[in-house]
């Protein structure tokens, strides 16, 4: 295996993709629902991973929430899906990225949560 393959495997093993639904006071509805990817939890990102992510056009950070960043991570991690911490979460993010509606009312929150539970 080449160095990039080993680095990508390390990233995949430490990646957790999921759709989160958190209580918040920042939104009118009281909920924040979005896809995200956590890399390396709160730990330090290894220098090889920082360099690899930079070459892929990604900033080195522990949490990704922007759609372009998540799309790039999906493209990179899909072949290594079985090595991620949550393979089902990766599938959910792949399915719902870009299709989740904005949350304006409490009824919207209920509809989105029902959609997510249906999968």
pLDDT in tens, 16-48: 999 887 777 776 777 777 889 999 988 899 999
CA dihedral 95, 101, 18, 38 (to 10 degrees): 120
Residue 21: DSSP 8-state: E
SS3 category, 2: coil
Per-residue pLDDT tens for 82-100?
999 899 999 988 888 876 6
Whether residue 60 has pLDDT greater than 90 = yes
- Measured in Å, how far apart are the chain's first and last C-alpha atoms? 36
pTM for the whole structure: 0.81
105: left (phi over 0), alpha (psi -120 to 50) or beta: beta
Domain housing 10: 3-118
The domain total for the chain is 1
Alpha helices in the chain (DSSP H): 3-13, 47-55, 67-77, 87-96, 106-118
Q: At 93, which CATH number?
A: 3.10.28.10
How far apart (Å, rounded) are the C-alpha atoms in residues 96 and 67? 11
When pLDDT is averaged across residues 101-108 and rounded to a whole number, the result is 66
| Beta bridge mates, 31 | 23
């Amino acid at each position: 295996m080449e160095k990039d393959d080993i680095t990508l495997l390390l990233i995949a093993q430490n990646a957790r993709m999921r759709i989160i639904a958190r209580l918040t006071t920042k939104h009118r509805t009281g909920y924040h629902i979005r896809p995200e990817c956590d890399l390396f939890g709160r730990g330090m990102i290894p220098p090889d991973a920082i360099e690899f992510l930079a070459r892929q056009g990604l900033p080195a950070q522990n949490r990704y929430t922007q759609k372009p960043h998540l799309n790039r991570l999906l493209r990179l991690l899909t072949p290594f899906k079985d090595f991620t911490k949550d393979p089902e979460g990766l599938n959910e993010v792949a399915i719902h990225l870009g299709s989740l509606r904005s949350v304006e009312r409490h009824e919207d929150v209920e509809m989105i949560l029902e959609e997510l539970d249906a999968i």
